[in-house]
């Protein structure tokens, strides 16, 4: 256990990582460190199809809930940005290798 006392502490451990991912150290009960990218065999980090679908649906829901509250002159551009984000999640879901 490492105390959350504001001091810098060293941490060392071994973990087997099969595919490119990001890691974070959890600071209970609710925080974690910034992500650390880990590339395996030079391959990029890829989201799972399930996560990609979740992200796309979350963005759609955010637009349904918040879209009307965006200033009218900015709404069209914001809608296009949301659509680009959804399309990117869907694209990554199609190229996903996991569930």
pTM across the whole model: 0.64
Q: What is the 3-state secondary structure (H, E, C) of the chain?
A: CCCCCCCCCCCCCCCCCCCCEEECCEECCCEECCCEEECECCECCCCCHHHHHHHHHHHHHHHHHHHHHCCHHHHHHHHHHHHHHHHHHHHHHHCCCCC
- Half-sphere exposure in the Cβ direction for 8 (13 Å, CA): 0
Q: Which tens digits make up the pLDDT trace of 59-93?
A: 999 999 999 999 999 999 999 999 999 999 999 99
In the numeric block, which tokens belong to residue 73?
């002159």
Q: Which tens digits make up the pLDDT trace of 56-68?
A: 999 999 999 999 9
């Amino acid at each position: 256990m490492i105390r959350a006392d504001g001091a810098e502490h060293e941490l060392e451990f071994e973990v087997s990582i099969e595919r490119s991912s990001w890691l974070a150290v959890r600071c209970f009960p609710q925080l974690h460190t910034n992500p650390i990218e880990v590339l395996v065999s030079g391959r990029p980090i890829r989201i799972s199809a399930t996560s990609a679908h979740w992200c796309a649906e979350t963005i759609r829901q955010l637009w349904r809930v918040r879209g009307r509250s965006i200033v009218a002159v900015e709404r069209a551009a914001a809608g296009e940005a949301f659509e680009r984000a959804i399309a990117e999640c869907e694209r990554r879901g199609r190229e996903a290798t996991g569930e």
